[in-house]
């Protein structure tokens, strides 16, 4: 199968994208307070974690976009943006929302959402902008169409079948 390249997501391959900062943070509590008892061991572990962590990194070397990890100043706008981000798919990790994902592209998408909301666009407009570009796949809140109609109709149909079955069974019992 052909695989297109995508940004590597930290959740995808355990260990492969542990950043320097995170690796040392993870290792820090394992060291005893009075200094490491097995100094060589700690160095080896640390070296291993760092060398395993860096070479496969497929992230750019630019810092995250301005609004990727910063909330909007206006709490009402931030709440709107956050609610929208929870329902937008991260295109790299594909199983997470952009609010949950730490992928670079998800950060850029969060920045885009916040910028647009701050500029006065409604969440619906921002969602529409993204759907125009990526299709319904980008939203976890799919619009009603003939493809998605079963999502709403199937439960009703199943419920109706259940009622019919129940009615028949109870009738027979009474008779």
Partner 1 sequence: MRRLLIWAPLVLFALVFALVASGLLKPGDRTVHSAMVGKSLPELALPPLLPDRPGIATGELKGKPRLLNVFASWCIPCIAEAPQLTKLKQAGVEIDAIAVRDTPEAVQAFLARHGDPYARIGDDKASRAQLALGSAGVPETFVIDAAGRIAYQHIGEIREEDVLKLLGELEKAK
Q: How far is the CB of 38 from partner 1 (least distance, A)?
A: 37
List, as one string, the DSSP characters of 70-97: ---SSHHHHHHHHHHHTTBB-TTTSSSB
Q: Which is nearer to partner 1, 49 or 67 (CB)?
A: 67
Q: How far is the CB of 133 from partner 1 (least distance, A)?
A: 4
User: Hey, is 139 helix, strand or coil?
Assistant: strand
Q: How far is the CB of 127 from partner 1 (least distance, A)?
A: 13
Nearest residue to 54 via CA among 96, 23, 11, 30: 23
**Footprint on this chain of partner 1 (rule: CB under 8 A):** 1-7, 58-62, 65-66, 91-92, 94, 104-105, 108-109, 111-112, 130-135, 137-138
Q: Which is nearer to partner 1, 30 or 145 (CB)?
A: 145
Query: What is the sign of the dihedral through the CA atoms of 118, 124, 130 and 133?
Result: negative
Q: How far is the CB of 37 from partner 1 (least distance, A)?
A: 39
Q: Which is nearer to partner 1, 26 or 151 (CB)?
A: 151
Return the number of other C-beta atoms located less than 10 Å from residue 80's C-beta: 19
Q: Which is nearer to partner 1, 62 or 156 (CB)?
A: 62
Rounded distance between C-alpha atoms, residue 63 and residue 58, angstroms = 14
């Amino acid at each position: 199968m052909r695989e297109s390249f995508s940004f590597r997501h930290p959740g995808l391959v355990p260990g492969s994208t542990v950043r320097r900062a995170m690796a040392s943070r993870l290792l820090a509590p394992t060291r005893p307070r009075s200094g490491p008892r097995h100094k060589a061991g700690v160095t080896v572990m640390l070296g291993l974690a760092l060398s395993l962590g860096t070479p496969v990194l497929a992230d750019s070397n630019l810092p995250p976009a301005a609004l990727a990890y910063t909330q909007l100043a206006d709490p009402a706008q931030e709440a709107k943006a956050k609610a929208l981000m929870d329902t937008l798919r991260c295109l790299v990790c594909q199983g997470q929302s952009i609010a949950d994902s730490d992928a670079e592209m998800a950060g850029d998408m969060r920045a885009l959402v916040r910028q647009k909301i701050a500029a006065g666009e409604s969440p619906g407009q921002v969602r529409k902008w993204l759907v125009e570009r990526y299709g319904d796949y980008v939203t976890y809140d799919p619009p009603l169409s003939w493809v998605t109609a079963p999502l709403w109709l199937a439960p009703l149909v199943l419920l109706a079948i259940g009622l019919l079955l129940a009615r028949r069974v109870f009738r027979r019992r009474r008779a």
